[in-house]
Amino acid sequence: MSEHDGGLRARLIDVGVDLVTAEGVQALSLREIARRAGVSHGAPRRHFPTHLELLSAIARRGFEDLAALGAAALGDDTASPRDRLATLARVYLDFALTHRGMHELMFRHDLLRSDSLGLRETSLPVFALLTDLVGRVRPDADARLLAGSLLAQLHGIAQLWTWGSLQLTTGADDVEPLLRTALDAHLGTER
């Protein structure tokens, strides 16, 4: 009846993205998503055999959006590798703090099937770019290790900042100084 909008499968994902953005991860029950999509609680099963699969599809949308934001922010940027890394880092942190529910979902491995996330198509290229840029800023270091460390750094800041721990311990009320410190540590302080 109302399938002209592209099918139930896509509609369920859309509803899920809106829901997690507006109300957080705990609102993403299978039955609530079905309710908001206007179908019975058994309907999603036709398209997603299990709850995990549906949540994974929703999270996948998050990874895609994040990768798109990163690509857009760089654009045809001709800035220095160091500045481009700072841009990427800010995009990630901004995404995590703006879309808290989605970011939480994206790393709730107990709710996701990692092989349904399409990381190979979205996140891996971004990480390759990260590694390349890091290698150009610090030709002396092991680029893969340093890039991995930087990624973990950003993720940790996003997590602990959202959780509120870092505001207490650092006394700051803005992530920016922390981000600067982290970038300086990994990439050197010369600008």
The partner in contact with residue 21, picked from a second copy, DNA, none with C-beta cut-offs of 5 to 8 angstroms by kind, is none
Specify the residue, 56 or 153, whose C-beta has the smaller distance to a second copy: 153
Positions in the binding site for a second copy (CB under 8 A): 24-26, 104, 107, 109-110, 114, 124, 127, 131, 141-142, 144-149, 151-157, 159-161, 163-166, 168-172, 177-178, 181-182, 185-186
HSE-CB of 184 using CA atoms within 13 angstroms: 9
Specify the residue, 40 or 98, whose C-beta has the smaller distance to DNA: 40
| SS3 call for 107 | coil
Specify the residue, 45 or 127, whose C-beta has the smaller distance to a second copy: 127
Distance CA 29, CA 59 (A): 14
The partner in contact with residue 155, picked from DNA, a second copy, none with C-beta cut-offs of 5 to 8 angstroms by kind, is a second copy
Positions in the binding site for DNA (CB under 7 A): 3, 7-8, 28-32, 39-43, 45-47, 49-52
Q: What's the DSSP call for residue 116? A: G
| SS3 call for 175 | coil
Distance CA 101, CA 99 (A): 6
Find the radius of gyration of the CA atoms of the chain. Answer: 19
